[in-house]
């Protein structure tokens, strides 16, 4: 009997020890599971923070680019607007010599190289409608190329004239394309062309103003002079201009994206020696 009681006591003690060991393992497991659960919310927070930062960065970029904002105006039926499209083509590739000349000219413009530009000009280049205003010397004076040629406005005007295609006629080339191909029935001084995709029409001449709608390669009425306010695009300053769409919506667009057919245009043709030269760079009529 004593042996039986002793054995039962020993078993009781062993069972108690086993329960104590099990209870000591449970607290160790529990905190491990809690820590593991806490990591997921932290990761989500980090991911959300990155997403917000990315959105803010994209938003900032869009505000600086004046041609990609979505229209904020909801009162205009953009699906049923009256639009006359402006055709833009570049025919220079049809003549390898013309294409080569234009490529060289664009390099000269990019480098703002006065001496190389003068070599591409005709000796009798026409730069104004005055009877006496022809020749390289007058061209240099008109565009202030004799003082600070790198700051001359001629570079940006040449660049913009060549940026919108051109018309080829045998060995001669004129640009931009709208100079000889503006839609018929629209006076050259009263109507212009939007030259760009999704150009913002704004309520006031400022990037901070509301976008009424967006215009793409279409005829607009020129209803105001260029404003004193400017906007910086591609490191160059442009004035705003007030325009009205053909369905009567008025607003302001950056001057870089609107031209009339009598704005600056360039004519390239062979001189008496058979060399391609810039024969005129002129505005007006």
Tell me if 165 sits within 8 A of 90, measured CB to CB.
Answer: yes
User: What is the spatial distance between Cα 217 and Cα 203, in angstroms, rounded to a whole number?
Assistant: 20
pLDDT tens-place string over residues 24-44? 433 333 332 222 222 233 333
Measured distance CA(10)–CA(60) in Å, rounded? 78
Q: What was the pLDDT predicted at 15?
A: 45
Paired sense of beta strands 121-126 and 276-282, if any: parallel
pTM of the model: 0.71
Whole-angstrom distance, CA of residue 55 vs CA of residue 129: 53
Helix (H, G, I), strand (E, B) or coil at 9: helix
Instruction: Please name the helix (run of DSSP H) or strand (run of DSSP E) that holds residue 61, with its range, or none.
Output: helix 2-64
Beta carbons of 81 and 245 less than 8 angstroms apart: yes
| pLDDT tens digits for range 135-144 | 999 999 999 9
What tokens were used for 146?
A: 């004799």
Give 177-226 pLDDT, tens digit per residue.
999 999 999 999 999 999 999 999 999 999 999 999 999 999 999 998 88
20 vs 271: which has the higher pLDDT? 271
- CB neighbourhood size of 261 (10 A): 22
Yes or no: is domain 78-282 CATH 3.50.80.10?
A: no
Q: What is the dihedral of CA 99, 105, 106, 108, to 10 degrees?
A: 150
User: Where are the chain's structural domains?
Assistant: 1-64, 78-282
């Amino acid at each position: 009997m004593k042996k039986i009681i002793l054995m039962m006591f020993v078993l009781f003690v062993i069972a108690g020890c086993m329960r104590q060991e099990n209870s000591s393992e449970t607290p160790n497991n529990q905190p491990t599971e809690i820590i593991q659960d806490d990591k997921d919310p932290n990761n989500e927070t980090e991911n959300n923070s990155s997403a917000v930062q990315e959105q803010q960065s994209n938003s900032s970029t869009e505000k600086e680019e004046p041609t990609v904002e979505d229209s904020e105006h909801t009162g205009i039926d953009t699906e049923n607007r009256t639009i006359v499209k402006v055709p833009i083509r570049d025919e220079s590739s049809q003549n390898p010599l013309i294409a080569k000349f234009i490529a060289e000219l664009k390099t000269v413009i990019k480098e703002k190289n006065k001496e190389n530009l003068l070599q591409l000009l005709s000796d009798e280049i026409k730069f104004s409608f005055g009877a006496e205003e022809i020749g390289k010397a007058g061209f240099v004076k008109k565009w202030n190329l004799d003082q600070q040629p790198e700051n001359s406005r001629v570079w940006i005007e040449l660049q913009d004239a060549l940026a919108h295609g051109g018309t080829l006629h045998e060995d001669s080339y004129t640009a931009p394309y709208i100079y000889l191909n503006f839609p018929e029935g629209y006076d050259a001084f009263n109507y212009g062309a939007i030259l760009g995709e999704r150009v913002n029409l704004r309520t006031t001449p400022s990037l901070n103003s509301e976008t009424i709608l967006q215009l793409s390669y279409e005829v607009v009425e020129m209803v105001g002079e260029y404003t004193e306010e400017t906007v910086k695009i591609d490191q160059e300053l442009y004035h705003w201009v007030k325009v009205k769409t053909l369905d009567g919506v008025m607003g302001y667009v950056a001057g870089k994206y609107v031209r009339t057919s009598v704005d600056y245009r360039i004519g390239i043709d062979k001189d008496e020696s058979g060399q391609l030269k810039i024969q005129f760079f002129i505005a007006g009529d």
